[in-house]
Amino acid sequence: MLGCREERAFQYVLTHATPGDPDSILDTFDVWCSKVEFISNIGPKKGKILDRLLMEHSPLTVLELGAHCGYSTVRIARSLPLGARLYSIEMDQRNAAIAEKVIRLAGFDDDTLIVNPSDEVIPQLRSDYNLERLDFVFMDHWKKCYLPDLQMLEGSGLLGKGSIILADNVLFPGAPKFLRYIRKSGLYEWKIHRAMLEYSKGIRDGMAELVYQGIK
């Protein structure tokens, strides 16, 4: 089989999904990832939790940490209200190139894909992208980055009262320092949405939903 897993998945999506139809692209990804080759997308079950939160809160500024091959980017973009802005960060250039193609295939040309490590981008969001507040942050990048990036977001002043952070895979492979911090910090109302690991049977995982309360 040629290329990397992400490239093979993209080729499958390209040949089987309907261009300009985000639902078709996500469904085709799900078929590939569940039947052929595992890729750590958020997947359809945990994806529904993400969908619901986006629908409930209608965020106008969204930051995605870890676009990977564009699955979650498309999933977020299709649920956003008109006029919303999505900024997706992916540090791996090869994955970012695939994500870019997937996002365009779905018809979302206005989303901003930033190819750099998150700890370099977060401090520049205000100055480089004129961002004043983030309504919603989705974390699905390196688990060891969850805590430092959360603290960097706090320090950036981009989180306001009611800003939501949704962090995937906090139980498997797990982000124990991140969970310990949110329990102790007093800055968040939070809960864990328990679910199985995407495209798997029997591996327990969960997503952390945080609502920023502001400095007490």
Q: What is the pLDDT of residue 216?
A: 59
Structure tokens at 19: 């261009």
Amino acid residing at 161: K
**C-alpha dihedral (34, 206, 86, 43), degrees to nearest 10:** 10
Low-confidence ranges of the chain (pLDDT < 50): 1
CA-to-CA separations, 78 to 7, 49, 124, 151, 169, in angstroms, rounded: 23, 14, 26, 29, 22
Nearest to 79 by CA among 101, 44, 52: 52
For the annotated catalytic residues, the residue numbers are 140, 143, 168-169, 198
**pLDDT single digits (tens) 25-71:** 999 999 999 998 888 788 899 999 999 999 999 999 999 999 999 99
Q: What is the pLDDT of residue 103?
A: 97
Q: What is the pLDDT of residue 138?
A: 98
SS3 assignment, position 97: helix
Which sign does the torsion angle of CA 116, 122, 124, 127 carry? Answer: positive
Q: What is the pLDDT of residue 177?
A: 97
pTM: 0.95
CA–CA gap between residue 181 and residue 163 (Å, rounded):
17
